[in-house]
Amino acid sequence: EVQLVESGGGLVQPGRSMKLSCAASGFTFNNYDMAWVCQAPKKGLEWVATISYDGSSTYYRDSVKGRFTISRDNAKSTLYLQMDSLRSEDTATYYCARLDPFWFAYWGQGTLVTVSS
């Protein structure tokens, strides 16, 4: 069974950093591109970033370019999202998702990031 379990969310002050993790199991992690998708409270879904199966390619939405970094450790079957210079508008639940190969076939349960002083 495919499982994606996010962790690392919480309350953080504006301008500070936070790193999210997503532990994957139930599939061969290094065969799949992975992504982060966020959802602000009571709002819609927004794609954040994608990383290729081997980590060689990354893609970001404009609003996080230069502030967020997606990475992966295939030996640990873990996806990461390093979030720097956080803003109040980054407040959201962050989901990791497996791409199959272009649609989000599996989602984690999400981790809430709240940016507030």
Partner 1 sequence: DIRMTQSPASLSASLGETVNIECLASEDIYSDLAWYQQKPGKSPQLLIYNANSLQNGVPSRFSGSGSGTQYSLKINSLQSEDVATYFCQQYNNYPFTFGSGTKLEIK
In the complex with partner 1, the residue whose CB is nearer, 11 or 45, is 45
In the complex with partner 1, the residue whose CB is nearer, 72 or 108, is 108
Closest CA to 4 of 83, 100, 89: 100
Question: What's the closest the beta carbon of residue 4 comes to partner 1, in angstroms?
Answer: 9
Query: What are the residues whose beta carbons fall under 8 Å from the beta carbon of 55, sequence distance 6 or more?
Result: 71, 72, 74
Angle at CA of residue 98, ends 93 and 100, nearest 5°: 140
Question: What's the closest the beta carbon of residue 63 comes to partner 1, in angstroms?
Answer: 9
Match 């640990």 to its residue by tokens: 76
Query: Where does this chain bind partner 1 (CB under 8 A)?
Result: 44-47, 50, 59, 61-62, 95, 100, 102-110
Question: What's the closest the beta carbon of residue 46 comes to partner 1, in angstroms?
Answer: 7
In the complex with partner 1, the residue whose CB is nearer, 44 or 75, is 44
Query: β-strand 34-39 against 92-99: which pairing, if any?
Result: antiparallel
In the complex with partner 1, the residue whose CB is nearer, 27 or 107, is 107
Question: What's the closest the beta carbon of residue 57 comes to partner 1, in angstroms?
Answer: 11
Query: β-strand 111-115 against 10-12: which pairing, if any?
Result: parallel
